[in-house]
Amino acid sequence: MSFLQQKWSEHQSKPLRRYSSQREFEADWVGGLRRRYRLSQERLASLASVSVTTVQNWENPTSAKRIAEHNQDRLRDIDRELWIKAHVTLLEPCPPYIRALHELMSANRDSSAQGLADYLVTCMDARDSGRARLLHWAGLTYSIADPASAKAREYEESALRALGTGNEGHDSLAAAIENEILGAQFEDLLALPEGAARRDKGRALMQACQRLFQRDRQPAYLWNALEVACRAPLEMRDSFVLVSELQALLGEAVVRRRIQTDAAFEGARVLLANPMLASAATLN
C-alpha cells in the first residue's frame, strides 16, 4: 500500500471531513503539509526535487494524474523530517538515551523508539531530575506516528506534571526543557481539529502553564496560558481569570495594550470591550 493510500485508509476509519474522492484527499494532504510548515510551493518543489508545476498538480483535486509512489515516499520523508525539526531538539547536556531515541526516530524506526522509551520510563526513578525530559521524548516517539495517540497524550501530560514539581535540575536546562515541551504541546494543540479533544488538551496545557507560573512567578507563563485559552478555545471564564491575574501583576494598561495588538489574544478582546460579559464570566 502506498503512503497516501495508507493515509486515505486511516482517514476513512476516522473521518474529520468529507472528500469526494481519494484524489481530493491527496490534494488536500499536500496543501496541508505546506500549511503546517509554512512552505511555499517553490520550497516544497525544491525539497521533493520536482518542478513547481508538479506540486501545483499534486494540490489540484481535479488533476487526473496521480502522485507517483516514489514521490509519495519523498513526501512522507519530508513530512517526518519537518516534524522532527519542529518538535525535537538535542539540548545539551544530552544523555545517551535521548540521542538513541533521536536516532531511532530519524531512521523511521518508531516501534523501536517506543519500546526503548517505555522501558526507560519504567526503569527511571520518579525523583530523577531528567524524568520530565524523558517523558516528553517518550511522548514524541508516539506522536510522530500518530498525533492523536492516547499513549502520547499520557506521556505528555505526565511530562507537564513533572515540570511543575521543580525537580528538573540545572535552572537553565530546566527552562530550555520547559520551552521545548510547552512549544511542542502548543503546536500539537493547533494541529487538532476543533472539538472536545482540542479543548481537553488545551485545558491540560493551560493548567501546566499556570503551575509553572506558581513555581517561577514569571508572567510569560500566564501569557502562554492565556494564548492557549484563546486558541483552544476554552471557556470565557478561563480567559477572564488569566486576564485579571495579569492585570494585577502588570497593570491594566499594559495588559489591555498587548491583548488589543497581539493576534494571539484575539479571543480575549471581547472581555475588554464588554464589561458585562466579563462580569458574567465570573458567575458561571
The count of residues in the chain is: 284
CATH number at residue 178: 1.25.40
pLDDT band at 171 (very low <50, low <70, confident <90, very high): low
pTM of the model: 0.72
d(CA 106, CA 115): 15
d(CA 207, CA 22): 40
Distances (CA, A) of 224 to 35, 54, 200, 280: 23, 40, 16, 24
Residues 99, 147 within the same domain: yes
Residues 71, 164 within the same domain: no
Residues 256, 226 within the same domain: yes
CATH number at residue 70: 1.10.260.40
Residues 147, 126 within the same domain: yes
Residues 216, 126 within the same domain: no
pLDDT > 90 fraction of the chain, expressed in percent and rounded: 51
Residues 92, 186 within the same domain: yes
Contact call for residues 45 and 54 (beta carbons, < 8 A): yes
Count of structural domains within the chain: 3
Higher pLDDT, 171 or 125: 125
Tell me the per-residue pLDDT of 139-151, one tens digit each, with 9 for 90 and over: 999 999 887 788 9
Host H or E run for residue 91: none
Higher pLDDT, 57 or 178: 57
C-beta atoms surrounding 55 within 10 Å: 24
Task: Among 49, 79, 109, give the residue marking a domain's end.
Answer: 79
pLDDT > 70 fraction of the chain, expressed in percent and rounded: 92
d(CA 202, CA 195): 11
Task: Among 25, 58, 79, give the residue marking a domain's end.
Answer: 79
* Residue-level pLDDT at 52: 96
Tell me the per-residue pLDDT of 209-263, one tens digit each, with 9 for 90 and over: 998 888 888 899 999 999 999 999 999 999 999 999 999 999 999 999 999 999 9
C-beta atoms surrounding 83 within 10 Å: 19
Task: Among 163, 191, 219, give the residue marking a domain's end.
Answer: 191
Q: What range does the domain containing 161 cover?
A: 88-191
| 52-61, 77-86, 226-235: least confidently modelled range | 77-86
Output the average pLDDT for the chain.
87
pLDDT band at 118 (very low <50, low <70, confident <90, very high): very high
Residues 216, 272 within the same domain: yes
Nearest Cα neighbor of 55 from 69, 73, 43 is 43
Rounded to an integer, the average pLDDT of 196-204 is 90
* Residue-level pLDDT at 15: 67
